[in-house]
């Protein structure tokens, strides 16, 4: 009888867990790409719930009624609800800018929305060997990202020049001051900077005029004049989370951690590099996924 009960409990632990995917907003493309890939990779049934336009009380009641064993949260809003109402459950997350600012529950796993800064800088150095001083515009929300860049730049002959902003110090004059000190700028997903579209356009315009390269985290910035975009591949992240959950449900030796994304998409804006007369590695095809002529 004891053997039977042990086998039954083992079976339940493997296959009896209720999994919920909590989506912050089903109209956001990157969330949809991530969840679609998760759905194809994950081999067990799961619930999917979109919390956009739902009240706090409605979301709370749903989570308590379903009371899942595992929650995969896509986006910061979904994570915040899972953490607030079900912190005792297994929580996974992805597609969150600067995850280090989150309050972490005891049982939390996830995939970072930022690439490893060392890999990021190595790629830049491999393509633009003359670049030595790189500016990073950041605010209180992204200070952890800048710190990682500073740590990983030390072995690459790169000097990170951080420039902190807030809503009162972000202006064109400050960009000129920063550009005087650097060869290039890395644009990170900082909410203070990105909240002011006119300022972002001015930054790119000023940098192009002064022939200073900008490296960005999304290909949309290529249209503004970025020379390089290094972004995560959303479908790969969805598949990565699916494998993490499936592997964790099959073992009792769980180690809670946040992993770097497994997939990247690198696009080089060759046309802009030539226009700005910025030197780059001619053997670039092995380093990037796409070249914009």
Instruction: List the domains of the chain with CATH numbers.
Output: 2-114+234-263 (3.40.50.2300), 117-231+265-292 (3.40.50.2300)
Rounded mean pLDDT of 108-113?
91
pLDDT of residue 122: 93
| C-alpha separations of 241 from 9, 28, 79, 199 in Å | 25, 18, 14, 36
> If pLDDT is split at 50, 70 and 90, which confidence band does 13 have?
very low
Residue 246 confidence (pLDDT) above 60: yes
Residue 46 confidence (pLDDT) above 70: yes
Which segment of 130-139, 185-194, 244-253 scores lowest on mean pLDDT? 244-253
β partners of residue 259: 111
pLDDT of residue 97: 82
pLDDT of residue 102: 80
Residue 151 confidence (pLDDT) above 80: yes
Which segments within 63-190 are labelled E, that is strand?
A: 70-74, 90-94, 108-111, 133-138, 159-164, 184-186
pLDDT tens readout for residues 111-139: 998 888 998 999 999 999 999 999 999 99
Alpha-carbon distance 75 to 93, whole Å?
7
pLDDT of residue 14: 45
- Mean pLDDT score of the chain, rounded to an integer? 88
pLDDT of residue 264: 87
Rounded mean pLDDT of 181-200?
89
Model-level pTM? Answer: 0.80
How buried is residue 247: exposed, middle or buried, by Cβ count under 10 Å (0-12/13-18/19+)?
exposed
Which segment of 155-159, 167-171, 197-201, 243-247 scores lowest on mean pLDDT? 167-171
Rounded mean pLDDT of 2-7?
47
Pairing of strands 290-292, 228-232: unpaired
pLDDT tens readout for residues 26-44: 999 999 999 999 999 999 9
In sign, the C-alpha dihedral spanning 259, 190, 224, 227 is: negative
- pLDDT exceeding 70 applies to what percent of the chain? 91
> If pLDDT is split at 50, 70 and 90, which confidence band does 98 have?
confident
pLDDT of residue 12: 44
pLDDT tens readout for residues 64-96: 999 999 999 999 999 999 999 999 999 999 999
């Amino acid at each position: 009888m004891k053997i039977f009960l042990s086998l039954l409990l083992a079976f339940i632990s493997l296959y009896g867990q209720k999994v919920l995917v909590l989506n912050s907003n089903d109209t956001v493309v990157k969330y949809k790409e991530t969840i679609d890939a998760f759905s194809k990779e994950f081999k067990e049934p799961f619930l999917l719930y979109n919390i956009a336009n739902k009240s706090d009380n409605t979301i709370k009641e749903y989570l308590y009624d379903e009371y899942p064993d595992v929650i995969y949260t896509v986006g910061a809003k979904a994570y915040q609800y899972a953490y607030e109402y079900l912190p005792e459950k297994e929580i996974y997350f992805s597609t969150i800018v600067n995850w280090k600012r989150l309050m972490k529950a005891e049982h939390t796993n996830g995939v970072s929305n930022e690439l490893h800064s060392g890999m990021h800088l190595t790629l830049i150095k491999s393509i633009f060997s003359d670049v030595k001083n790189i500016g990073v515009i950041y605010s209180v929300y992204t200070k952890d990202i800048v710190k990682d860049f500073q740590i990983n730049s030390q072995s690459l002959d790169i000097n990170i020049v951080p420039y902190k902003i807030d809503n009162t110090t972000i202006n064109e004059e400050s960009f000129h001051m920063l550009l005087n000190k650097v060869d290039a700028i890395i644009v990170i997903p900082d909410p203070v900077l990105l909240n002011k579209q006119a300022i972002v356009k001015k930054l790119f315009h000023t940098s192009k005029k002064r022939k200073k390269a900008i490296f960005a985290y999304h290909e949309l910035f290529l249209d503004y004049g970025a020379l390089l975009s290094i972004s995560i591949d959303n479908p790969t992240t969805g598949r990565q989370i699916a494998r993490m959950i499936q592997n964790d449900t099959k073992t009792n030796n769980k180690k809670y951690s946040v992993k770097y994304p497994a997939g990247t998409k690198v696009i080089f804006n060759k046309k802009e590099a030539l226009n700005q007369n910025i030197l780059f590695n001619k053997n670039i095809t092995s380093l990037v996924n796409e070249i914009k002529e």
